[in-house]
Amino acid sequence: MDRTFSLRRQEVLCEEPLVKDFLGRWPALFNASQINEEFKRITTVRLESTFMAQLDHCISKLMEIGSDRGGATGQKIRKIRECLLQSKNVEVDARREAAIRALIVYLHEKEEDLFAHFDSTDDYEVGFHRLTMSIAIIGEESSATRTGAIVIEGTQVIMEKNIPRCHSTLAQTLPPEEAPVDRPFWGVDDPSMPLPFDLADIINRVESLLWRM
């Protein structure tokens, strides 16, 4: 993908292709890891790690600003906090979700404009073509396994199922605090052997150390 970056850039700037056509020409680009890499090629910034770090840094301030609002907006934000942050030992993902959802309300946006919920795969197959730009959540809220998809211009560009990254017996016996990070997700029928750690992160750390020497 590095070698063909200039071709994609030229195509996007000059031809302005539809998402469906661009997906057909560059299918390997449309997964989480390659999107992160493409963003880095364009900006030299690591998208996911930078975004998460900045979000974690601003969470307290975001929640404080939102909670100070009065009226219906303030009530919605406080309700989001109560639902997601009930426990004292709340996970970082819940804190991030609460901050983002509170920010959507604070900016007077509507969650339903960004998220589309479907009870089943059949409902999704029928309805996702009508979405302009949306994050589709497939499955009932009570379901243990739900699927997420990103839809742009009625075209599904990414779909991720809640399948853990590592399927090894050893990893499954580890306590939660030592378990591998479930990102990116791996499918059960993936022919490659998933690793119980983020190899890309380790490579980045090694490169950073080499630059300091």
Which pLDDT does position 203 carry in this prediction? 64
Which pLDDT does position 167 carry in this prediction? 45
Q: How far apart are CA 138 and CA 116, in angstroms?
A: 9
Q: How far apart are CA 73 and CA 78, in angstroms?
A: 9
Which pLDDT does position 4 carry in this prediction? 87
Q: How far apart are CA 30 and CA 13, in angstroms?
A: 18
Pick from 138, 164, 134: nearest CA to 150: 134
Which pLDDT does position 208 carry in this prediction? 67
CB 135 within 8 A of CB 118: no
Residue 203 phi, psi dihedral angles, 5° rounding: -60, -40
Which pLDDT does position 191 carry in this prediction? 47
Which pLDDT does position 169 carry in this prediction? 46
CB 97 within 8 A of CB 56: no
Q: Tokens for 25?
A: 């020409």
DSSP state of 181: P
CB proximity list for 119: less than 8 A, separation 6 or greater: 139, 140
Which pLDDT does position 151 carry in this prediction? 92
Which pLDDT does position 205 carry in this prediction? 66
Q: How far apart are CA 52 and CA 58, in angstroms?
A: 10
Q: How far apart are CA 160 and CA 186, in angstroms?
A: 9
Could you tell me the CA-to-CA distances from 100 to 83, 106, 140, 159, 177 in Å, in that order?
A: 14, 10, 22, 21, 24
Q: Which residues of the chain have pLDDT under 70?
A: 66-69, 83-90, 141-145, 162-213
